[in-house]
Amino acid sequence: MNKSKEDEKKGTRPQRLTLFVGQIPFSCSKEEIEGHFNGGELEGKVQVRMLTKKESNEFKGMAFLDVENREDYEKALMMDYSVMKGRRLRVERTVGGGGDSRKRGLKRLLQKDQDRRKEEFEKDLLELFEQNPKMEVQVADLDDAIKEFLLTVPQNDSKKVLEELAKVSFRRVKNRRRYLMGVMKRRLRELGQLVETPRTGQQQLEQKKKSTEEEKREMTVARNYEDGQWHEVHIVKELSDDKVLVRFKNTGREQEVLREDIKSKMKRRRKNQDQHSQNNKRSFKRRRR
């Protein structure tokens, strides 16, 4: 008697049919994804469960799609490769079974989506080098860390970043990798894909310590176009590949300067101190002899 009641309860419980959706634009909201599939002539209600990163709660570009009946399930599958904000979505069946098998199946789906994204990125990269044979950026400049960084943004935006790299000039650039990361981050900020997260107190202290050490080691000077002399400056903003906004330390005045009119050199005072200490050591050795 009890079993039949339980069976009746199970029978009345709506069956949830779930699909996996990959390659979703990172800027999409839950409502936009639901609207995309509801616009595909699905009769029942669609529910979206977005996958996010544990640490930052950022959207991973993947989601589970719950539909109410088999007919909607098949219709949603037919929306595989449908375009949303310039990207082709991947709609796939999810795996059933127990908890462990579902986890393994989910890992396989996630890995499959990542592999597909990497393959698309490599194609975009190859196309970039073919179309710009004279570009200064070489394959060796784009290490694994840079590639992984670009894989975290939508494909359309990563293409725009790659197009920006085709314009890069390494003239007077000492650290090519650091310079490239700066160019990419600037472009992503312009596209609204990079939002700086506020640093913790410990991170701020570490950054301040690092900045102090760098200031001790070297100073940045720029040519003042009013008097033609070189003065110590702070770099305020990167304006373009060949222009920078600087603030002069002696006057506080800001000025746009050409990148070629900026130098980074050792502090003379420190250099003189080192020279003085070496001279003292030499004279001491001579006296001992």
Q: Which residues contact 52 (CB under 8 A, 6 or more apart)?
A: 58, 59, 60
CA distances from 14 to 63, 102, 145 (A): 21, 20, 46
- Amino acid, single-letter form, for residue 31: E
Angle (nearest 5°) at CA 232 between 228 and 238: 90
Check: CB of residue 25 under 8 Å from CB of residue 85.
yes
The reported pLDDT for the residue numbered 98 is: 41
The residue among 203, 223, 130, 214 whose CA lies nearest residue 175 is: 214
Check: CB of residue 184 under 8 Å from CB of residue 149.
yes
The reported pLDDT for the residue numbered 268 is: 45
The residue among 162, 82, 168 whose CA lies nearest residue 121 is: 162
**For residue 62, what is the DSSP state?**
E
Residues of the chain with pLDDT > 70, as a percent, come to: 66
Check: CB of residue 132 under 8 Å from CB of residue 162.
no
The reported pLDDT for the residue numbered 25 is: 85
3-state secondary structure of 167: coil
**For residue 36, what is the DSSP state?**
H
The reported pLDDT for the residue numbered 4 is: 47
- Give me the tens of pLDDT residue by residue for the chain, a chain 289 residues long: 444 444 444 444 456 788 888 888 888 899 889 888 887 667 778 889 998 887 788 888 888 998 888 888 888 888 887 888 777 788 888 755 444 555 566 667 667 767 777 777 788 888 888 888 888 888 778 887 787 777 777 777 788 888 888 888 888 788 888 888 888 888 878 777 665 544 555 555 666 665 555 544 456 777 676 677 777 887 888 888 778 888 887 777 888 888 777 776 544 444 455 555 666 666 656 666 6
The reported pLDDT for the residue numbered 173 is: 81
d(CA 87, CA 273): 60
The residue among 43, 30, 59 whose CA lies nearest residue 153 is: 59
CA distances from 88 to 54, 79, 145, 254, 269 (A): 26, 10, 25, 46, 59
The reported pLDDT for the residue numbered 141 is: 82
d(CA 248, CA 231): 7
The reported pLDDT for the residue numbered 97 is: 42
Q: What residues are paired with 91 via a beta bridge?
A: 21
Domain boundaries 215-289, corresponding CATH code: 2.30.30.140
Task: Assess if CATH 3.40.109.10 describes domain 13-94.
Answer: no
In DSSP notation, 130-154 reads HH-TT-S--GGGS-HHHHHHHHTS-
For β-strands 230-238 and 243-248, DSSP reports them as antiparallel
d(CA 6, CA 12): 10
Query: What value does the mean pLDDT of the chain take?
Result: 74
The reported pLDDT for the residue numbered 107 is: 66
Query: What b/e string do you get for 101-112 counting C-beta neighbours within 10 Å, with b at 16 or more?
Result: eeeebbeebeee
